[in-house]
Each structure stands twice: as C-alpha cells, then as structure tokens.
Structure 1
Amino acid sequence: MNINSYYNARKTIFEGIRESSTVTKILMSLLMACFTGLMAQIIIPLPWTPVPITAQTFAVLCSGLILGKKYGCLSQILYIILGVACVPWFADMSGGIDVLLGSNCGYFVGFILASYFIGAITDKYADARNFTKMATVIGIANFAIIYIPGLIGLALWTYATQGTMLGISELLIMGLIPFIVGDIVKILSAASISKVFLPKE
C-alpha cells in the first residue's frame, strides 16, 4: 500500500462512519459504550481515595474522535444509562444508581461533555486532527472538561457522606494528582490514533 492509498483509505473510512445510517451510528455508539465498559475493568484501586485509576477515560477520549460529537456523546450516555439500568460495567464490575450518584458522579458528567467537545473539534477542523493540535484538544477535554465536574462531584459527595468539605489540596490528592501520569499516556495514545487514522483534509 502506497501513501496515497493509505490517505484515501482513512478518508473513506472516516466519511463512511460520518455518513452511515442513523441505525448504524447508534450501533457504533453502543459498541463504543461496550468498549468504555471493558476499559473500566482495567483498574488500580487507591487506598486514600474512592476514585480508582481506570482505562475508561481512553475510551471516552476516543469516542469523540471516532464517532464525532453527536454519537460519541451518545456512546457515553448509553454507557451511563445501561450501567445504571442493567449492565454492571462501571469500574470493578459495578452498576446501579448508587454508583452514578457516588464519588465518581462528576466524572460521568465530564465523560459526556468531553466526548462531545473532542467530537465537535474533530468534525469541524480537519487540520486539528494532527498529533500536536489534537493532543492539546484532548488534554483540555481530559484535564478541564472531565476533571472540573469530577472534582466538584467528589467534593459534594464527600460533604454529603462525611459532613466535611475537603480542602483544595486534599481534593486534588484524591481526585487529580494520582491520575496525571496515566492520563498523559491516554492523551498521547488518543492523539496518535487521530494522527494515524483520521484524514487531515
């Protein structure tokens, strides 16, 4: 395969996903929800925080890249709704409304928003699909769009369950700092997928 064939192939695949039927897009969203649930089972619990290290954020970041803003976002909505309703695919094979309203509640909100944000940039700006620009976009999605609601939710959950409001340093140690190195790996991996598989025109 020469370089032009490679460029044509990835453009054809990208456009095929974006232009497929609504039913097909919903099925792809469901598959991405399944992938998110699978990645959520790659887990490293931390003794000082109820928020574990998982690989599910990688699936969230990829959902917007692959499916675009609307159906990437839908994949995360399906992941949450099905996890609450009947599928135990949250971290550590858990599920139900208690998990949704637990210490990770804000992160779930962030998943939906981050997928939409990445998808919106990917859909609208072809030149943003290169490695450097997409790493920046994904970094913003990860560290701002996921963590801001995530940390707010963690603080509110801690106050509701323990009656104490966490200080900023305590909150960051529980909900952000331990995850930075792994998140950088996920960001760079997702940006690499954009570089290799998404057309730049």
Structure 2
Amino acid sequence: MSSQPLSKRVVLADFLSHTFISQAILVLGYAAFIGLSAQIVIRLPFTPVPLTGQTFAVLVGAMVLGSKRAMAGSLAYLSLGLAGVPWFAGATGGVRALAAPSFGYILGFILASFLVGALAEMRLDRYFLGTLGVMVVGNLGIYVLGAGWLAFVSGLGVKEAIVLGVLPFLIGDGLKALVADIVLPTTWRVVQRFDQEH
C-alpha cells in the first residue's frame, strides 16, 4: 500500500506504490483491459458498430486510475492497436482500423478516459449518484466522437448516426453504469476501512 495520507488519495490507484514501474504497469494494464474487453463482441444486424465490453473497461478503469494515467492508457491502446496489436474489437488491429465505422469510438475512449478520470479526482466515484453522473458524462464523450466518425465514414446524417451509433447501446451502457454504481462506491468503503485499520 502507498504511504500517502488518506486525504491525498483521490483515486483508487493512489493506494498503490508510485514507482515508475508500478505506474507503467497500471497504464499498460489499463490498455490491456480495454483490449480484452474488446473481444466481448455482439454484432447487431442493423448497425455496423458492434456491442463490446469496452465502455465499461474504459470508464471504470479511468475512475480507478485518474485522468493522466487513464489517458495515457487509452492512448497506448490506440497506438499499439494501430501498430498491429490485434486488440481492437474482434481481434483486429493495424492502420486499416482507421477506415472502420467504429474507429471513432476508440477516439472517444481517449476523451472519456480523461474526463472520467478528472471527475473521479473530484471524488465523485465514491457515491452512487456521483458515479452514475460520471458514467453518463463518459458515455456522452464516447457517443459524440463515435457517432461523429460513423457519420463521416459512412456518409450518414446526424439523425441516422444517432440511430445506428448511439440508440442501440443505451440499454447496455445503462446496465454497465449500474454495475459501476455498485462496484466503485463499495470498493472505496472497503479500501478506506482497511487502510484506516492498518
């Protein structure tokens, strides 16, 4: 555990050591977590964008890490994927991903990871309503860039892009938000109690 005072630990990752190696492991572990969650794929017949586990990994991971580590991790995910690591959705990778209708969601992960990490640094992830609000903001960031890229690549209008790139994912992302609402505040209570007792 970190020797930092409890009041200085603004995200859960602050309870870990702060050596360069440990921080690098956190960043690369976050990138790998996003990559693994991308392999949970459900393809829908009416949209070119698949359902994956990525939004949960991106948003919850960002709340755990904070803005800088999370943004570094999402950038690592993007960079290594474009370099050929097959961890984009459906075990794909390489520069051909730039032409995919779903590539904008990966760009959205970068924006969302920073926003969500910053909101977690304001201690909003310690409470049910705060965590819910953070998840909503993060998803909006992903949707804006995701649907925008979908419209650009596919030549769709704004309404069509929202119908194909946002609406199919609202229920799933709502369920992910509810899971996060249980996991994060509960984890904070457990970690804080353990830290105070030791």
TM range (shorter): 0.7 to 0.9
Aligned-partner Cα distance in 2 for 1:23–1:93: 28
Aligned-partner Cα distance in 1 for 2:167–2:135: 18
Look up the match of 2:44: 46
In the alignment, which of 54, 57, 60 is matched to residue 59 of structure 1? 57
The alignment covers a number of residue pairs equal to: 183
Q: What does the per-residue CA deviation read over 1:128-151, in whole Å, with 9 as the maximum and x for residues that have no partner?
A: 521111111111111x21101111
Q: What does the per-residue CA deviation read over 1:40-97, in whole Å, with 9 as the maximum and x for residues that have no partner?
A: 1111101222110111111100121111100111111111111111310111111111
Deviates more, 1:126-135 or 1:74-83: 126-135
Which consecutive unaligned segments of at least 5 residues does structure 2 have?
A: 1-5, 193-198
Look up the match of 2:167: 177
**1:131 aligned onto 2:128:** yes
Look up the match of 2:195: none
The code of the aligned residue for 1:77 comes to: L
Aligned-partner Cα distance in 2 for 1:81–1:167: 29
- Asked if the contact 1:63–1:73 (Cα under 8 Å) also holds between the matched residues in 2, the reply is no
Look up the match of 1:32: 30
The code of the aligned residue for 1:98 comes to: R
Q: TM-score, normalised by structure 1?
A: 0.83
> How is 1:105-124 mapped onto 2 (pairs within 5 angstroms)?
105-123=103-121
Deviates more, 1:21-30 or 1:109-118: 21-30
Q: TM-score, normalised by structure 2?
A: 0.84
Which 4+ runs in 1 deviate beyond 4 A?
11-14
> How is 1:129-168 mapped onto 2 (pairs within 5 angstroms)?
129-142=126-139, 144-159=140-155, 166-168=156-158
> Does the C-alpha gap of structure 1 residues 60 and 128 become closer, same or farther in structure 2, counting only changes over 3 Å?
closer
- Asked if the contact 1:100–1:108 (Cα under 8 Å) also holds between the matched residues in 2, the reply is no
The code of the aligned residue for 1:16 comes to: F
Aligned-partner Cα distance in 2 for 1:23–1:114: 25
- Asked if the contact 2:44–2:51 (Cα under 8 Å) also holds between the matched residues in 1, the reply is yes
Aligned-partner Cα distance in 2 for 1:67–1:176: 26
Aligned-partner Cα distance in 1 for 2:125–2:78: 29
> Does the C-alpha gap of structure 1 residues 13 and 172 become closer, same or farther in structure 2, counting only changes over 3 Å?
closer
* Deviation, structure 1 residue 119: 0.8
The code of the aligned residue for 1:194 comes to: L
Aligned-partner Cα distance in 2 for 1:87–1:168: 32
* Deviation, structure 1 residue 34: 0.9
Look up the match of 1:193: 183
Aligned-partner Cα distance in 2 for 1:183–1:173: 15
Aligned-partner Cα distance in 2 for 1:192–1:111: 22
Q: What does the per-residue CA deviation read over 1:99-118, in whole Å, with 9 as the maximum and x for residues that have no partner?
A: 13421222111101111111
Aligned-partner Cα distance in 1 for 2:41–2:169: 12
The code of the aligned residue for 1:105 comes to: F
**1:85 aligned onto 2:83:** yes
Over the matched positions of the two proteins, sequence identity in percent amounts to 37
- Asked if the contact 1:43–1:91 (Cα under 8 Å) also holds between the matched residues in 2, the reply is yes
**1:15 aligned onto 2:5:** no
Aligned-partner Cα distance in 2 for 1:145–1:112: 9
